[in-house]
Amino acid sequence: MDRLIFHIDVNSAFLSWEAARRVAEGMDDIRLVPSAVGGNPQKRTGVILAKSIPAKRFGIKTGEPVSMALRKCPDLLLAEPDFVLYNKCSGDFMDICRKYAPVVEKYSIDECFLDMSGTGMIYPDPVKTAYDIKNEIRDTLGFTVNVGIGNNKVLAKMASDFEKPDKVHTLFKTEIEKKMWPLYIRQLFTVGEATASRLEKAHIRTIGDLALSDITHIQSLIGVKAGTQLYNYANGTDESPVLSEPEEPKGYSISTTLEEDVKTIDIAFNILHALSDSISARMRADGTSAFCIGVTIRSNDFKNKSHQKKLYEPTDITSEIFEISKELFCELWDGHTPLRLIGISLTDVTKGEAMQMQLFEDAHKEKERQIDKAVDEIRNRFGNDMIMRGSSLNSTLKVGRKYKAELENKKGGNI
C-alpha cells in the first residue's frame, strides 16, 4: 500500500495569527497592507519574523533588521511578537488536523505532517480531504494554510511550498519529473546556501540535474551523508515515518550565520551568550542535560573548525554552557580570521534527574539553576522578549578582555 502524507503549513504564521486576532476584535486586516511582525515597534529594534504579501513587494525579508525594513517602507505597520497567542493558534489548528488523521506530527509551531495512509475507505479523495482541512482551519480560526500531498514527508513538504497562500498541491512520485525536477537546486528541502553554491559550481543547477547525477559524484562534492540524503530527496525517496510523539533527542545544536563577519571576541561572546541561552532552554524544556559541549566556527572562506569537551557531570545550566563554550571558542579561533558562522552543540544527552548529588551541594550551580527556572517560566508566560540576562551581558565585555589577553599570549601578537 502506498503511503499518503499531508504537510500543512500556516501561511506567514505569526502575521496571520496577529491578523486573525485583530479581525476577530473588529479591527482592520493587516494582511491587506504592508505589515510585519518583529522586534520592538516603539524602539525600531529587532528583526522581521513574518511579513504580509504587500510588505514583500517592498523587498522586505524575514530575518532582516526592523530598521532596514522601515527604510524600505516607512509606512510599514509593525506588530510586536506575542508568543502566548502563537502557541494557542498552533494548538488550535493542529487539533483540527487530529480530527482527520490517525497520526499527526508537529514539525514546528506552524507546520505538521499527517499520515493519511490507509484512510481511503473514510476519505476516498485525498485532494478533497485536503481542501476540507484547509477550509475548516480558515473558516473556524480565521487564517489560511497550504496543504501538500505526497507519498512521503519530503514530497508533501515540497508540495506545500508551491504557490501560496491558501492552496492545495500534490507531488506524487509519478509527478516528480514534471513538477519537481525543473525547480532550482536551492528549492530542494534542506539545501542551504553553501551546499547550493558547491552544486551549482559543478553545473548541478536544478533538482533534476541532481537526481540524474551519479551519486558518488554528489558525495564527493558535499560529503557521503549529505550527498546520499539529497540524492534520495531529488529522486523522491524518503522513508522517515510520521511520528505522533517526538523522538527522544540524541543531541541539540544551534548556529547562526552572520550578515556581517565577526572580527572581535566581544561580539563573538555576545553571540555565544545568546546561543547558550537558547539551546539550554530547549534542553530544559525537554527535561534533558548533556555530558558533552561542542563549538563550531566557520571562517569567511567557508572552512569549518569544531572542538568539544566532555563533562564529568551533565549540565543544563545556561551560564555553565556559556563559560565552556567561550573556552572552546578561544581554543578554535586564531583571533583575527573573520567568522561567518558560530554554533553550539550539546550531545551525549541524558533524560530526567541525572545530576549527581555533589552538584546540589554546589551553591553557585544551584543558584544558577533557580535563575534559569525563573527565566524559563517568565518566557513561557509572556514571550521570549520579555526578559534577558542582563548580568551576563554586562559582564561580557569584561570577560572578553580577559580572553582577548589570553589569545594574545597564545598567538604571540595583537588582536
Sign, Cα dihedral of 116, 120, 126, 131: negative
259 a catalytic residue? no
Beta bridge partners of 47: 65
Query: What is d(CA 282, CA 147) in angstroms, rounded to the nearest whole number?
Result: 28
Out of 64, 111, 245, 353, the active site residue is 111
Query: What is d(CA 139, CA 137) in angstroms, rounded to the nearest whole number?
Result: 6
Residue 319: CB atoms within 10 A of its CB come to: 22
Query: What is d(CA 207, CA 268) in angstroms, rounded to the nearest whole number?
Result: 36
H/E stretch holding 260: strand 251-262
Alpha helices in 142-264 (DSSP H): 153-160, 193-201, 207-211, 215-222, 224-234
Q: Look up residue 33 and give its DSSP letter.
A: S
Tell how many helices (H) and how many strands (E) occur in the chain. 15, 12
Residues 6+ apart with CB under 8 A from 321: 276, 279, 280, 293, 315, 344, 346
Alpha helices in 215-345 (DSSP H): 215-222, 224-234, 265-285, 318-332
Bridging pattern class, strands 35-37 and 77-79: parallel
Which residue is it, cell 551581558?
393
Length reported for the chain: 415
Query: Could you give the residue numbers annotated as active site?
Result: 111
